[in-house]
Amino acid sequence: MNQRLDSKREFSIIKRARSFVHAGKGIVLFLKTTHNAWIHILVTVSVLFLGWYFSISVIEWIVIIFAIGFVFVAETFNTAIEIDIDLTSPEYHPYARDTKDVAAGAVLIASIIAIIVGCLVFIPYVF
């Protein structure tokens, strides 16, 4: 068998640690390059404050945390897709535009779902 493939299959603490370092670099890059991430962070801090203020239940916390995570994951994938499209299609192409629009649409869908979740959790506490 190919020695390179065999070496990739071997477990290594060092390789796992490097993968965490690379993932951390990806998060930093995401935060540096994605302006909407800062909006998401501001909303996240506000929602976490409201959860603390209203003493929401554990189940409500779980739902809120998943909704927040859903939006950040969608935005992160959107950023990765945009970086890849910019690399593979530096000139304007309608498919590149459509790909970026669909990825941005996924973020919008995730955000709308998170807003609905937030309303379902917090409206009973406000009224």
Q: How far apart are alpha carbons 15 and 126 in whole angstroms?
A: 49
| Of 16, 71, 50, the residue nearest 125 (C-alpha) | 50
Q: How far apart are alpha carbons 104 and 79 in whole angstroms?
A: 9
Give Cα 85 to chain centroid, integer Å.
Answer: 18
Q: Which residue has the tokens 């979740």?
A: 117
One-letter identity of residue 56: I
Q: Which residue has the tokens 């998943």?
A: 66
- Whether 82 is a known active-site residue: answer no
Q: How far apart are alpha carbons 99 and 105 in whole angstroms?
A: 10
- Check 60, 75, 82, 91 and give the catalytic one: 75
What are the residue numbers of the active site?
75
